[in-house]
Amino acid sequence: MSVLFEPIKINRMEVCNRFARSATNDGGADEDGFVRDRQVTLYEELAAGGVGLIVSGATNVQKQGQILPYQWRITSDEHCRGLSKAAEAAHRHGAKVAVQLFHGGAEAGTYGASRGFTAKAPSRLSGDDPFFPFFKSEYGVLTSGDIEEIIRDFGKGARRVREAGCDAVQLHGAHGYLFSQFLSPYINRRTDEWGGSLENRQRFILETYREIRLQVGPDFPVMIKLGVQDSFEAGLKFDEGARTAGSLDDAGFDALEISSGARGPGWNKTEFKTGIRETADEAYYRLWSREIRPLVKSPLILAGGLRSFELMEKIVAASDADIVAMSRPLIRQPGLINRWRQGDRTRSECISCNQCVQALVEGRMALCGQLDKGA
Ligand SMILES: Cc1cc2nc3c(=O)[nH]c(=O)nc-3n(C[C@H](O)[C@H](O)[C@H](O)COP(=O)(O)O)c2cc1C
CA–CA distance, 314 with 320 (Å, rounded to integer): 9
pLDDT for 20 beyond 80: yes
CA–CA distance, 234 with 104 (Å, rounded to integer): 21
Per-residue pLDDT, 218: 98
Q: What is the residue with the minimal CA distance to atom 1 of ligand 1?
A: 357
Distance 192 CA to ligand 1 centre (A): 33
CA–CA distance, 169 with 72 (Å, rounded to integer): 14
> Could you tell which of 272, 282, 333 is best to mutate to test the pocket of ligand 1, judged by most ligand atoms within 8 Å of the CB?
272
Domain ranges of the chain: 3-372
Q: Which fold has domain 3-372?
A: TIM Barrel (3.20.20)
CB of 203 closer than 6 angstroms to any ligand 1 atom: no
Give the model's confidence band at 222: pLDDT under 50 very low, under 70 low, under 90 confident, else very high: very high
User: Is the Cβ–Cβ distance between 178 and 239 less than 8 Å?
Assistant: no
Which phi and psi (to 5°) does residue 172 adopt? -85, 95
Per mean pLDDT, which range of 233-237, 312-316, 322-326 is the poorest? 233-237
CB of 23 closer than 6 angstroms to any ligand 1 atom: yes
Instruction: Provide the β-strand partners of residue 78.
Output: none
Quick check: is 285 catalytic? no
Q: Which residues of 145-157 are buried (b: 16+ CB within 10 A; e: fewer)?
A: eebeebbebbbbb
Ligand 1 atom closest to the Cα of residue 276 is 25
pLDDT 10s digits, 167-204? 999 999 999 999 999 999 999 999 999 999 999 999 99
Distance 140 CA to ligand 1 centre (A): 27
Distance 57 CA to ligand 1 centre (A): 8
Q: What is the residue with the minimal CA distance to atom 4 of ligand 1?
A: 24
CB of 328 closer than 6 angstroms to any ligand 1 atom: yes
Percent of the residues in the chain that have a pLDDT greater than 70, as a whole number: 96
Per-residue pLDDT, 106: 92
Catalytic residue among 177, 186, 284, 285: 177
Ligand 1 atom closest to the Cα of residue 58 is 8
Contacts of 246 (CB under 8 A, 6+ apart): 292, 295, 296
CB of 100 closer than 6 angstroms to any ligand 1 atom: yes
Tell me which amino acid residue 244 is: T
Please give the mean pLDDT across all residues of the chain: 95
CA–CA distance, 340 with 338 (Å, rounded to integer): 5
CA–CA distance, 173 with 244 (Å, rounded to integer): 11
Quick one: how far is CA 52 from the chain centroid? 16
Distance 144 CA to ligand 1 centre (A): 31
Q: Quote helix, strand, coil % in the chain, to nearest 5.
A: 40, 15, 45
